[in-house]
Chain A
Amino acid sequence: MAFPLIRVLDRSSLVFLALVAAAAVIVPALNLLLPETSPLHVPTYLVALFGKYVCYALLALSIDLIWGYCGILSLGHGAFFALGGYAMGMYLMRQIGTRGVYANPILPDFMVFLNYKELPIFWYGFQSFPYALLMIVLVPGVLAFVFGWFAFRSRVTGVYLSIITQAMTFALMLGFFRNNFGFGGNNGLTDFKDILGFNVQAQGTRAALFAASCVALALGFVICRALVTSKFGKVLVAIRDAESRTRFLGYRVESYKLFVFTLSACMAGVAGALYVPQVGIINPSEFQPANSIEAVIWVAVGGRGTLTGAVLGAILVNYAKTTFTTGMLAPYWLFLLGGLFIAVTLFLPRGIIGTFNHWQQERLAKRDAVSSEAATRAAE
């Protein structure tokens, strides 16, 4: 068997998957089945908020795969997230049909407003959900493949790679801000009506989207685990720690990097696609370099190269963000985020899960040493 389950899913992975499954069931159940008066009732706005966290967690997971395991620090992963989001947004726009302000059956409102005579070719096909699904994976994937092909073949690494990923997302942001780019300019895509025939605002749809996000997260996690626990994963870590040594062993480093980078971009695209219907809008600000950097901070806080840490970090930091930006501390959030990053780098370089794992390993090693010492003493 290609992927021995026991190798892929160790105990902590199973705990993680059980938690995600539990969330996927409990949150919608508490929202749909309990009356609003019940103290345990989860209001619909919270379901959407948690759904957003889960999408961020999937984005963090995709970053951890390339950064934590292969040492590729992408500061432009938000671009792949946003592209997946735009692909979903285009599908949702085409679903509005005659219910728009201008009631044009084909053209979305912003196109009528900007005097488009006909639908641009790249909008063709987005009325079909399967086509949109394909694009959600394909567009970020192809961009990552082309970008990675040039970058990795030219052996651009480290800070230089981080800077050009940042330039990539910035260039896309500038493009998408333009009205004549054909994606609604700075307003982006919004005012969605329904997805697969269900009202996006409806309680049931929100719950279903939340559950779907959890499923995507669990699936992404299993794919990442299968990869990092294989020999392929060992090669990734080898590239991270000693790239030229890996080359001299005969591994074609650029193929490995290209594969994980593309896969990671596809995962980020799926995360973005699930994010858009839950927040109800996608606009060029999602391409902001700051968003991508924030996502990297989530991974650093949770623990690089642990997968579960990335998810934990994304949820914790975003929960903190929600809490702080709604109170009187709102103006100080960015200071707090920066401070958090510095504090983690200085005092918790392994992140939360990484520190915990390290502490546990040390404890085990100590116990082994003690027991082997006892064994030698007994032998004497």
Chain B
Amino acid sequence: MDIRTTTSQLYLDNVSVSFDGFRALNALSLAVEPGEMRAIIGPNGAGKTTMMDVITGKTQPDEGDVVFEGSIDLTRLDEANIANLGIGRKFQKPTVFDMHSVEDNLVLAIAADRRARANIKWTETPDEKSRIDRLLETIRLTPARGRLAGSLSHGQKQWLEIGMLLAQEPKLLLVDEPVAGMTDAETHQTAELLKEINREKTVIVVEHDMTFVRELGVKVTCLHEGSVLAEGSIDQVSANERVIEVYLGR
């Protein structure tokens, strides 16, 4: 396989995935630069979630290259390997460990040895404790640290999941519909939080909420039928004839 060295944080080249004849991704190419925040929009079935699955190792592409940090071929690795390389993923539906406390959710997520043997002997270090305290502050869940994650509100769960992502200390964050089901105030706070995170990390956000995308103020890629339809600033993309036709509506 020919892997060209690139300066991109993440580089997808000509990636195709089919499910029973349905082409979920059709020769998709995308490059995300280090430190960039990219918003991905597109109608249902455009391939946004499949793209996330390919990057995180859940789905193997039929063809094409997925390259991380210029030289690492992600198509050969599984989910755990990719996560440990520094790619974190937030699901569309908030997925936290309901039967664990908020604090334990972060304990599980915090960057540390993931092997079974190490975790039998594990005891919390003061450093881990202070990192968790800081994270709880960031995601505004300090008062809820002892509560079961299952008892949190929808918005709080979204934030907890973002906190878990941060605890992993990833280099690249994939965030799938972070503001779905949030109030306007929560949506605004989430945009602020993502901008804050973007100061140190590369972020890819998949979102339907155009107000939210506009608030982020970053480069936008619109997917349609498994490939890139348009790319550019939010104003350019939303002025694009084809985008209006298939996605935004007239």
Taking the nearest CB of chain A, how far is it from the CB of B216, in angstroms? 23
Residues of A with Cβ closer than 8 Å to B?
2, 4, 226-227, 230-232, 234-235, 237-238, 240-242, 244-253, 255-256, 259
Q: Contact: A242 with B95, CB < 8 Å?
A: yes
Given A230-B119, A245-B91, A249-B168: A235 and B84 within 8 A (CB)?
A: no
Interchain Cβ contacts under 8 Å between A and B, 5 examples? A230-B119, A232-B116, A234-B107, A235-B116, A249-B109
- Interface presence of B104 (CB below 8 A): yes
CB pair B119 A232 closer than 8 Å: yes
Number of interface residues of B (CB under 8 A): 30
Write the nearest CB–CB distance from A341 to chain B, whole angstroms.
23
- Are A248 and B84 in touch, CB under 8 angstroms? no
B164: interface (CB < 8 Å): yes
- What does DSSP make chain A's interface, helix, strand, loop or mixed? helix
Taking the closest CB of chain A, its distance from the CB of B60, in whole angstroms, is 13
B119 touches A241 (CB 8 A): no
- Residues of B contacting A248 with CB < 8 Å? 56, 79, 83, 88-89
Question: Within 8 Å of chain A (Cβ to Cβ): is B99?
Answer: yes
Contact, CB under 8 Å: B108 / A249: yes
Beta-carbon contact of A242 and B97 below 8 Å: yes
Bound Cα distance from A251 to B99, whole angstroms: 18
Contact of B121 among A230, A240, A241, A247 (CB under 8 A): A230
From B89, B97, B116, contact of A238 by CB (8 A): B97
Tell me if A237 and B97 are in contact (CB < 8 A).
Answer: yes
Quote the shortest CB–CB distance from B108 to chain A (angstroms): 6
List, in ascending order, chain B residues with CB within 8 A of A232's CB. 116, 119-120, 122
The 6 A-B pairs at the shortest CB distance, nearest first, are namely A250-B83, A231-B122, A247-B79, A232-B119, A231-B119, A250-B84
Residues in B whose Cβ lies below 8 Å from that of A251: 80, 114
Besides A2-B121, A248-B79, 19 more A-B contacts (Cβ < 8 Å) are A4-B123, A230-B121, A231-B107, A231-B108, A231-B120, A232-B122, A234-B104, A234-B107, A235-B119, A238-B97, A238-B100, A240-B99, A241-B100, A244-B58, A245-B91, A245-B95, A248-B83, A249-B108, A249-B164
Least CB distance from B199 to A in Å reads 23
- Chain B 55-96, CB-CB to A under 8 Å as 1, else 0, gives 010100000000000000000001110011000110100011
- For residue B115, CB closer than 8 A to chain A, the reply is yes
* Contact status B116-A237, CB under 8 Å: no
Q: Is B137 an interface residue (CB 8 A)?
A: no
**In the complex the two chains form, what is the Cα distance from A248 to B96 in whole Å?**
12
- The smallest beta-carbon distance between B220 and chain A, in angstroms, is 25
Shortest CB distance A6–B (Å): 12
Q: How far is the CA of A91 from the CA of B120 in the complex (A)?
A: 34
Closest chain B residue, CB of each to CB of A227: B120
Closest A residue to B112 using CB positions: A231
Residues A247 and B80 in contact in the complex (CB < 8 Å), given A235-B108, A241-B97: yes
B200 within 8 A of A: no
Q: Nearest chain B CB to A22's CB is how many angstroms away? A: 30
Whole-angstrom distance between the alpha carbons of A31 and B204 in the complex? 72
With both chains docked as a complex, state the minimum distance between the C-beta of B94 and any C-beta of chain A, in angstroms.
10
Q: Which residue of A lies closest to B56 (CB)?
A: A248
Chain A residues within 8 Å of B119, by CB: 230-232, 235
The CA-CA distance from A247 to B108 in the complex, in Å, is: 11
- The residue that A245 contacts in the complex, of B80, B97, B104, with Cβ under 8 A, is B97
User: Which residue among A2, A231, A252 has the maximum number of chain B CB atoms within 10 Å of its CB?
Assistant: A231
Instruction: Judge whether A237 and B122 touch: CB under 8 Å.
Output: no
In the bound complex, CA of A232 to CA of B123 (Å): 11
Q: How far is the CB of A4 from chain B (nearest CB, A)?
A: 7
Cα of A240 to Cα of B98 in the assembled complex, Å: 11
Min distance, Cβ A111 to any Cβ of chain B, angstroms: 43
Contacts of A241 in B (CB 8 A): 97-100
Chain A residues contacting B109 (CB-CB under 8 Å) are: 249
A227 to B79, CA, bound (A): 25
Residues of A within 8 A of B80 (CB): 247, 250-253
Bound-state CA distance A251–B111 (Å) is 11
CA distance A252 to B120 in the complex (A): 14
User: For B114, what are the chain A residues with a Cβ–Cβ distance below 8 Å?
Assistant: 249-252
Residues in chain A near residue B89, CB distance under 8 A: 248
- Beyond A249-B109, A251-B80, A252-B80, is A237–B120 a contact (Cβ under 8 Å)? no
B108 and A234: CB pair below 8 A? yes
**Chain B residue with the shortest CB-CB distance to A239:** B97
CB distance from B170 to the nearest CB of A (A): 10
Chain A: minimal CB distance from B109 (Å): 6
